[in-house]
Amino acid sequence: MTKRALIIGISGQDGIYLAELLLEQGYEVHGASRRVSSGEHEQLTHLAGRVTLHPADLADQSSIHAVVKASNPHEIYNLAAQSFVPTSWSQPIFTADITGLGVVRVLDAIRQHDPSIKLYQASSSEIFGHPLEVPQTEITPLNPRTPYGCAKAYAHMVIKNYRDEYGLFVSSGILYNHESPRRGLEFVTRKITDGAARIKLGMAKDLHLGNLDGRRDWGHAADYVRAMWLMLQQDAADDFVIATGKRHAVRDCCAVAFGHLGLDYNEFVQVDPKFVRVADEPELVGDATKAREQLGWAPEVSFEDMIREMVEHDVARLERELSRQA
C-alpha cells in the first residue's frame, strides 16, 4: 500500500525538505499552502508533477476540511504557522489564530474525516521562553515569553488534550532553531550568510546585526524533518525534543560565514541597537535523549557545515542575479 501524506505549509523550508524525504520513502505527497505570491513557491518548482498541491488556510475551517477530504491522507504534517517571533509582537491576534487555533482546526478535520490519520504538529523551543531548567526536556515546564511562544504553547497543550480525550495519534516535535539555504532572509542566520555573500561580491559594504552574543541551539532542517517522519512511524504518539544540545553565538555564525569566504567579520559587521531584541539571552538548549533512544534519531550535519552550505548557496544565487543584470 502506498502511503499518502499531507504537508500543511509545504512551501516553507521544512515543508520542502519533508516533501523530498517522503517522496524518497515512496509516499504519495500532497501539499497545502495559502495562495500567495511568494518566493517560497518558487522553491517548489523542482517538485512539479511529483506533489499534488491544494489551496488551504489555517484560518479557514472549511478549507482545512476540504484539503483533508481531497487528499485522504494516512499522515498529516502541520508545519504551517506565523513563525517569525518579532512579527508576533506586531500581529499577535493573527499569530494566535494561525499558530494556535489553526491546530484545532486540523485536529477537528481529522476527527470528522478519519480519526485514524496520524498527525505531526510542529512545536517549538519558544514554548519554554525563559526556561525554568537547562537543558530542556519534554517535561520542562512551559514558560513562553512572546505571542508566538504563547500560541505554540497553546497548540502543544491542545495536542496533548486531543490525544488523551479522543485517542488520536498526534505527536509534537519540540524543534529548536533549524536552518538551511531555504531559510527565509528575515532570519538571522540567513541574514548573515546573505550579507557575507553580498560583501564578498561587492554588493554591500557592511552588515548590521543585533546582539552578537545571543546564543541558540542551531541544527539543519534536513535533519529535523527526518525526526518528524520518524515520530509518525512509531507504535504510539508522543512528544519529542529535537535539538543538537549545543549552543552557538551569533558571532560564531558570522565567523564561519565570513571566514568561509576569506573575510574577517570584525571588519564588516556592525551592532545596530534597533536589531537588539529585549530579553535576547534565554538559555534555550535542548536535550534530545528521548529522540535518540526511542526514534534512533541524531543530527548529522554540523553547525559549521550548515553555515558553509548556506553561504555557498547565497554566493551562487547572487552571482546569478549579477549575471542577469549584466
Which residues are catalytically annotated? 124, 126, 148
The single residue listed with the C-alpha cell 527565509 is: 184
